Amino acid sequence: MELRRAANEELRRLKGAIVEADADDIESRTKDRVTRLARSSFEKFPDAPPGEVVASKLSIRAHQAKVRKSR
């Protein structure tokens, strides 16, 4: 959502007749801004140990099975 908004902000500045050089400049600024935002929004996080993941998934499945049976 933020990427589209950033691109739209640059494009909203365009009004009236536009020279092709200005359009190229605005297009390059828009691409640069969107690329910077996309790169800064990506975050890495460490994997959880497999034992914890499996235990968590099993408990979720058990809870969902109980909820389905009680309906």
Q: What is the identity of the amino acid at 21?
A: A
Tell me, what's the pLDDT at 27? 84
Q: What is the pLDDT along the chain (71 residues), one digit of tens a residue?
A: 677 787 788 778 777 777 787 878 888 888 898 888 888 877 888 899 999 999 999 999 999 998 887 76
What confidence score (pLDDT) does residue 1 get? Answer: 64
CB neighbour list of residue 11: distance below 8 Å, 6 or more residues apart: 26, 30
- Of 69, 6, 68, 70, which Cα lies nearest the Cα of 37? 6
pLDDT at 41: 79
Torsion 58-60-64-66 (CA) sign:
positive
Token pair 């009236």 is found at 16
Per domain, the residue ranges of the chain are 2-69
The residue type found at 62 is A
Note the pLDDT of residue 61: 95
